[in-house]
Structure 1
Amino acid sequence: MVSLITAITLILGFWGVLYLAFGRRGEEKEEGLQVDLFVAIWRTKRFVNFIDKVGTKYRKFWKGYSTVGIIIGFIGMVYVFYTLFNLAMQNIRTKAATPGVQLVIPGITIPLWYGLIGLIVVMFVHELSHGFVARAENLPLKSVGLVLFFVIPGAFVEPDEEELTKAPLLSRLRVYAAGSMANIVTALLAILLLSYALNPIIQPAGVEVSKLAPEGPAKSYLQEGDIIVGINGQQIATVEEFFNIMNKTKAGETIEVEVIRKRKKEVINIPLGSHPDNPEKGYLGVYPAQHITSKVGFNGIVLPLAFSLYWIYVLNLGIGLMNLFPLVPLDGGKMLDDVLKAFLPSKVAKSITYLFVGIGLFLLAVNLFPALRSLLG
């Protein structure tokens, strides 16, 4: 809680200085930095020519690619809506609320550097894909740029909105679907590389203590970052082996825990407490995470590459699918809205869109609440 308050204070201070130095003055700029309340936008036209060349030169590819993206987009839209609806109903019916939507905040809810790498890849493949497909459909681009919304970084390719609105339905759907399609393809490539190129040279090497429970006995003996490699003389390589041993312990029993701390091996005797769900069962009070090493050495290269690919996969898949949620202004919401307007009377289409907005906001609120409660403690 203290670290969260400190982080929020620093963020507010940063925005205060930024707003005083570059706060909005006059009309919207076509190029350069523009700062509004908790929103900073930097626009440039430097990369428009590059996007134009790639989009027009490979026009057939981008059209076919984005047409497949439309199909995947509507399937993903149904999947995300159904999943969030089920989780919301589950949270309403039961006391054990499960977050259906996780907040993505590097350094707080996800690892700082791997999270930033993953988010940068998410932004660039998403927006470049929008731009390539827009140019393949002969839609002009006004600018490209970067955006920072409070603590959430982003990138954008800005098409001419008037021309996009006038474009045929299929062209608009292709442009909207292209972003999430790029994220899903990137996630697939990342997991294939991780599975077939890196996993064969990675091996489990103990259980890392990622967090200590405040009421657990381990808090007085272990430290975050300790690597548990044995309990009562039995060697431990995986999280599964850790749980198998702990499930056989009794409350009040003293166990001998072998850990690696700062590259040195130590043996620590820890008396177990009573498990919150089963008073007779032993309770250590650690949040275990799998520790891995490289079979071929070069841990400083192999492991960061593996973690980077993992978070590129997780964030591209999660954000790509979430962007298909049928809620304007997400791409999924735009796709649904345009299709409804094309085939239904205007009033009926608007009513259905508003209905989805209301339901969507409700589902997001219910699914976000457990994540917010966990973050705030």
Structure 2
Amino acid sequence: MRSMIEVRFPLIMIKLDPSILYKLKTKHYKVLGFIYTVIAFAGIGFTIAFLLKSLYDFIFRPNNFTPVVTPLIPGIEIGGLKLPLIEGIIAISIAALVHELAHAQMLVSLNRKIKSWGLALLGPILAAFVEPDEEEFKKDKPINRIMVLSAGPAVNIILGLIFLGLSNILFPYFHQYKCLKLVKTTNPDLEGVKCIYSIDNTNVTIKNIRDIIYKHKPGDRVIVNTDKGEIVTKLKEKNGKPFLGVWVIPYYIKKGFYFLYSLISVLGIVNIGIGLANLVPLFITDGAQILREFLNKYWVEINSFFLTIVLINIIWSIL
């Protein structure tokens, strides 16, 4: 079969030879299927619990409600979150391709037919699709269908955790610590300060700032070296202990080749995001299809319920 190009607005679809996918076949599919299924059910449980907690906060604690579902579009900030444009496009494309290939691997390992597969372009974002023989798939054993459905999101979650772990290991090689960034202060002497470098000539970090302050007593004066110069201020008292009146986070300067680190981090976030999103019970998702195997009688009601919660979160994050 030769490659074929179809235009289904807004998608440009490139159909490829399905025989290529049979090279992904593995004799270890039962072990992989078990692992994928466990991860998928854990993910479904996690997303359901997360969404129910969100609904509880929305109804009973509206002042503390924070959206837990936010659409991530590369280069566009939504709800205070923003994916870098280039890294976001690359990460989404890779995650989508890996997702479909995982479904395909489980299908061919089970000796099931794949009618078509290929790539799809949605603007600059590369996606993929795998089309099984629907009649064959519907007649298959429930456990086989569950393993196929679980493969895509499970592989995304596994890859996401690997990339996030790698980004954590690589963090010190791509960042240079500069100071403690002042997020909030109740100390009038430190109003307008952005960075704290040292206290009493001792360089501060997020780990040692409390120990430095606790060497003093409430009412003692300390010298705080900041981006505004040296500031002498008096320590307050909080719960019987000295208190500088600041809330801080570490501030780092990006070092060379930062794009590589950013891409690895975004690959972690996007893969986990796509994996979990595909496990939310929402009609067309893998998670919804898995639950249908057990809750077919109430499938529409369950999906409608969680769709309502997701829409509340998305609308709230945009407003």
Shift of 1:268: 7.2
Aligned pairs, number: 293
Kindly report structure 1 stretches of 4+ aligned residues shifted beyond 6 Å: 231-234, 240-245, 281-284
Deviation readout 1:222-253 (Å, 9 max, x if unpaired): 8xxxxx46378775555x789999xxxxxxxx
Deviation readout 1:178-234 (Å, 9 max, x if unpaired): 0011111102322333344x246455512698x9xxxxxx9x998xxxxx4637877
The correspondence of residues 173-322 of structure 1 with structure 2, limited to 5 A, is 173-196=146-169, 198-199=170-171, 201=173, 204-206=176-178, 228=195, 230=197, 235=203, 257-258=226-227, 290-292=251-253, 299-301=255-257, 303-322=258-277
Structure 2 counterpart of 1:360, from 306, 309, 312: 306
Residue pair 1:73, 1:181 contacting (<8 A) in 2 also = yes
Residue pair 1:206, 1:229 contacting (<8 A) in 2 also = no
Partner amino acid, structure 1, of 2:66:
T
Residue pair 1:41, 1:147 contacting (<8 A) in 2 also = yes
Alpha-carbon distance in 1 for matches of 2:19, 2:196: 55
The correspondence of residues 48-197 of structure 1 with structure 2, limited to 5 A, is 48-55=18-25, 58=26, 60-94=27-61, 95-107=63-75, 108=77, 109-137=82-110, 138-148=112-122, 154-196=127-169
The residue number in structure 2 matching 1:19 is none
Deviation readout 1:118-142 (Å, 9 max, x if unpaired): 2122112111101111111222231
Partner amino acid, structure 1, of 2:120:
L
Structure 1 unaligned segments of length 5 or more: list them.
1-29, 212-217, 223-227, 246-254, 259-266, 271-280, 294-298, 342-348
The residue number in structure 2 matching 1:329 is 284
Name the SS for the 2:73 alignment partner: coil
Residue pair 2:12, 2:121 contacting (<8 A) in 1 also = yes
Shift of 1:328: 1.2
Name the SS for the 1:300 alignment partner: coil
Name the SS for the 1:101 alignment partner: coil
Alpha-carbon distance in 2 for matches of 1:371, 1:208: 29
Change (3 A) 1:195 1:84: same
Partner amino acid, structure 2, of 1:70:
T
The residue number in structure 2 matching 1:6 is none
Change (3 A) 1:235 1:91: farther
Change (3 A) 1:193 1:221: closer
Change (3 A) 1:120 1:234: farther
Structure 2 counterpart of 1:42, from 3, 8, 13: 13
Change (3 A) 1:72 1:244: same
Alpha-carbon distance in 1 for matches of 2:148, 2:12: 22
Partner amino acid, structure 1, of 2:177:
A
Identity %: 24
TM-score between both structures, scaled by the size of structure 2: 0.74
Change (3 A) 1:312 1:195: same
Change (3 A) 1:127 1:200: same
Alpha-carbon distance in 2 for matches of 1:241, 1:311: 30
The residue number in structure 1 matching 2:221 is none
Change (3 A) 1:69 1:31: same
Residue pair 1:146, 1:155 contacting (<8 A) in 2 also = yes
Alpha-carbon distance in 1 for matches of 2:292, 2:37: 14
Residue pair 1:139, 1:159 contacting (<8 A) in 2 also = yes
The correspondence of residues 11-26 of structure 1 with structure 2, limited to 5 A, is none
The residue number in structure 1 matching 2:315 is 369
Partner amino acid, structure 2, of 1:310:
S
TM-score between both structures, scaled by the size of structure 1: 0.64
